[in-house]
Amino acid sequence: MRTKLIFSLLLTLHVPNGVHASLVDDIANAISQAVDCGSCHALLVPMKGLAELGNSVFSDTMAAVCKSIGTEDDDVCDGTLGELGPILAHDLRAISPFGRTATQLCNSVFGLCQQPAVIQMKFPVPRAPRTPKMWVSKGGQPIRVAHFSDSHVDREYTPGAEVECTKNICCRNYADKAGKPIQQPAGILASHNCDTSTGLAESMLRATSAQDVSFSIFTGDIIEGRSDTWLVNQTGVTAHLQQFDQEMRTLLDKPVFPVIGNHDTAPVNSFPRNTTSGASSQWVFDTQAAGWSEWLDTSETASVLHMSGSYSAVAPGTNLRIISLNTLYWYKANFWLFDSDTFQPDPNGILAFAAQQLQAAEDAGQRAWILGHMPPSSSDAFHDQSNYFDQIIQRYKNTIAVLLFGHTHKVTVCSRLRQKLLIIY
């Protein structure tokens, strides 16, 4: 699910004179004048100045700004800025306020710039064979496969708690709301406005198991979705990833081929590239390599560990290669991607991995399914990687049977590659 960008609220605010008075004034002025792409670049100048004073000064000042608007509770402002502030401060220190990366940042964080034009590049792939393999049905039984996605399980979902709350995530008991009358109590298993209860998630897995499938695919987002950055940390996310992995292992009697989602880390959406020193989401890949080892062999779990959560595996009893990609290095709300002015066409080598695995499938006469969380065709994706990914897909379209994604909360299926996306549900 898309991150709610609290920073867009900054555009309508009046900042009181605070501790960092002169910079706060500069930022307040720049914010009040930030109405288009040029003025967004100008706004980054005082924000970079604030970032130079250190992560905590940056986060605290921005949190004060957020609170002064008053549309979010204080704990939401503190939580969100406490998590995302340091990443933005790191970005701003590293880049020019007027470069292409800054334009991407203004697009993603403030919505004030268009994405820049694609940096045109021919992604290197081996030539297609002169006589592509013809795929003809042998008339066997079709296989049945279940696809589920974006389970967003909230382990703190509490039946009877307030549905109409003022936090990013409701149906929970909050200390600062204790004793307040409940307007709309949360249902036993689920309520609109809220994430998935443990009971509902387990019921979904049991229903999947009852479908007599050969295997399942899960296109990511285990962790509760509405909380965004607020209230998630590495300890909690690790425990919740492990818990859902275990539920899939025990409640599904057939293999699952999972994918990493943008919520399956902390802070949310945060996957630093391997060119960023001092930050890493390797702990996510470690956790999932262990949690998925029931369905993946040792070379496949090694790939999860070393290819940023991506892997490729042949579904048992088939000639079908499942290629699971971490698409979050192409995701606009992954703020670590704004920490350099040097353009990286293929961060962490995910595109090259996809091409290699498709070539291996072609060489072996296998068909392939591509799985990912964020669809590279989505407006959440950088146009550059979307373009390069499309080149790979067009090259291997004879091998790829289908591409399956999550993230939009409408399962996204791309088939008949020359046609438009087909979205079901």
Q: In this complex, which beta carbon is closest to ligand NAG, that of residue 38 or of residue 236? A: 236
Q: In this complex, which beta carbon is closest to ligand NAG, that of residue 307 or of residue 381? A: 307
- Nearest residue by C-beta to ligand NAG? 236
Give helix then strand counts, H and E, for the chain.
11, 9
Q: In this complex, which beta carbon is closest to ligand NAG, that of residue 347 or of residue 375? A: 347
Would you say 363 and 398 are in contact if contact means Cβ atoms under 8 Å apart? no
Q: In this complex, which beta carbon is closest to ligand NAG, that of residue 3 or of residue 348? A: 348
Where on the phi/psi map is residue 17: left (φ > 0), alpha (ψ -120 to 50), or beta? beta
C-beta of 255: minimal distance to ligand NAG in Å? Answer: 26
Question: Checking DSSP bridges between strand 320-325 and strand 311-314, what pairing results, if any?
Answer: antiparallel
Q: In this complex, which beta carbon is closest to ligand NAG, that of residue 46 or of residue 309? A: 309
Q: In this complex, which beta carbon is closest to ligand NAG, that of residue 185 or of residue 349? A: 349
C-beta of 160: minimal distance to ligand NAG in Å? Answer: 21
**Where would I find the beta strands (DSSP E) of 275-425?**
311-314, 320-325, 367-372, 400-405, 412-414, 422-423
Residue type at position 346: D
C-beta of 264: minimal distance to ligand NAG in Å? Answer: 14
Q: In this complex, which beta carbon is closest to ligand NAG, that of residue 45 or of residue 305? A: 305
> Which has the closest alpha carbon to 5: 168, 154, 149, 171?
168
Which residue in this structure is represented by tokens 């279940």?
146
Q: In this complex, which beta carbon is closest to ligand NAG, that of residue 137 or of residue 235? A: 235
Q: What is the largest CA-CA distance in the chain?
A: 74
C-beta of 155: minimal distance to ligand NAG in Å? Answer: 7
- The tokens describing 191, both together, are 């309520």
C-beta of 86: minimal distance to ligand NAG in Å? Answer: 15
Residue type at position 286: D
Q: In this complex, which beta carbon is closest to ligand NAG, that of residue 26 or of residue 73? A: 73
C-beta of 48: minimal distance to ligand NAG in Å? Answer: 25
C-beta of 79: minimal distance to ligand NAG in Å? Answer: 10
- The tokens describing 313, both together, are 């595996």
Neighbours of 19 (CB within 10 A): 10
Would you say 332 and 375 are in contact if contact means Cβ atoms under 8 Å apart? no
Instruction: Give Cα separations from 238 to 75, 153, 264, 265 (angstroms).
Output: 23, 13, 9, 8
Residue type at position 147: H
Q: Which residues, at least 6 apart from 100, have a Cβ–Cβ distance to it below 8 Å?
A: 116, 341, 343
> Which has the closest alpha carbon to 157: 199, 102, 119, 124?
199
Give me the residues that bind ligand NAG (CB under 6 A), please.
233, 235-236, 274-275, 348-349
C-beta of 397: minimal distance to ligand NAG in Å? Answer: 25
C-beta of 140: minimal distance to ligand NAG in Å? Answer: 38
